[in-house]
Amino acid sequence: MGRFTELLKNFANNSLNKKKENVLLRARKEVGINDNGTSGFTIKEGPNKGRVLGHISVKHSNTKFQ
C-alpha cells in the first residue's frame, strides 16, 4: 500500500504544480512586438514614451533601385 500512496502523492503534487504554472502563464501579458507596423517594441510609458526599441532592419542585396 505504501507504493500506491507514494505514487498518488507524486501525481497530486505534479498536478498542483502544473496548475500553478498555467495560472502564471495566463496572468502574463505579452509584449506588443510589430504593433502599428513597427519592427520593434514601442515604449508606452515613462520618459521614453513612443520610442521604438529593437528595430529589425535587413540590408538587401538588390542595389539596382537605390
Q: What is the pTM of this model?
A: 0.41
Closest by CA to 43, choosing from 56, 32, 30, is: 32
* Residue 66 falls inside a structural domain: no
**Per the structure, how many domains does the chain have?**
1
The residue whose grid cell reads 519592427 is: 39
Res 66 pLDDT > 60: no
| 32: containing domain | 2-53
DSSP letter (8 states) at residue 33: B
Structure confidence at residue 34 (pLDDT): 59
Res 18 pLDDT > 60: yes
Structure confidence at residue 61 (pLDDT): 77
* Residue 64 falls inside a structural domain: no
* Residue 65 falls inside a structural domain: no
